Amino acid sequence: MPFWQCYYHAIWTTKYREPLITSAVEEVIFEIIQVKSVELKCPVLAINGIPDHIHVAVYIPPRLAAAEWMRHVKGVSSHEINVSFPNAPTHFRWQKHYGLLTFGVKNLKYVVDYIARQKEHHANNTTIDYLERTDGDD
């Protein structure tokens, strides 16, 4: 078996950046992303977010394209939210764009800490722009 270390920092938002991720929704999203990632053999290293977006640090093996992991977790999580909250005032959807950054093992602690402190970073306006991007616009 070849040696590999493929770490990714994924960021994606709700459709139109609507603040739909309540604490109850967040719990379901985080759980289903963990479950799907285990099925795909892609360990989640950190997951957190705020009402309009989430961040995930994940270890994706080279046998699976990172875009495929993203497609799977976004699809299953939005589906599960709509099933779990059928009376929600709006249909839950993710935007199609996302941010996906690679990082090395030396930065693992930094990325995990940044993700763990998402709510604090956004409350204190201490976010880092390139770690929050979800599209190709400058």
Rounded Cα gap, residues 42 and 54, in angstroms: 17
Domain contains 138: no
Mean pLDDT within 32-53: 98
CATH value at residue 46:
3.30.70.1290
Domain contains 1: no
Expressed as residue numbers, the domain containing 31 is 7-131
Q: Inform me whether the pLDDT recorded for 137 exceeds 60.
A: no
Domain contains 110: yes
Rounded Cα gap, residues 60 and 5, in angstroms: 8
Domain contains 122: yes
In tens, the pLDDT along 52-103 reads: 999 999 999 999 999 999 999 999 999 999 999 999 888 999 999 999 999 9
Domain contains 109: yes
What is the tally of structural domains in the chain?
A: 1
Domain contains 107: yes
What share of residues in the chain are helix, strand, coil (percent, to 5)? Answer: 45, 20, 35
Q: Where are the beta strands (DSSP E) in the chain?
A: 7-13, 44-50, 53-59, 99-103
User: Rounded to the nearest 5°, which phi and psi values hold at 94?
Assistant: -95, 150
Domain contains 84: yes
User: Rounded to the nearest 5°, which phi and psi values hold at 13?
Assistant: -120, 165
% of the chain with per-residue pLDDT over 90: 91
Based on its alpha-carbon atoms, the radius of gyration of the chain, rounded to whole angstroms, reads 15
Domain contains 136: no
Rounded Cα gap, residues 16 and 90, in angstroms: 12
Give me the torsion for CA of 61, 62, 63, 65, rounded to 10°.
Answer: 100
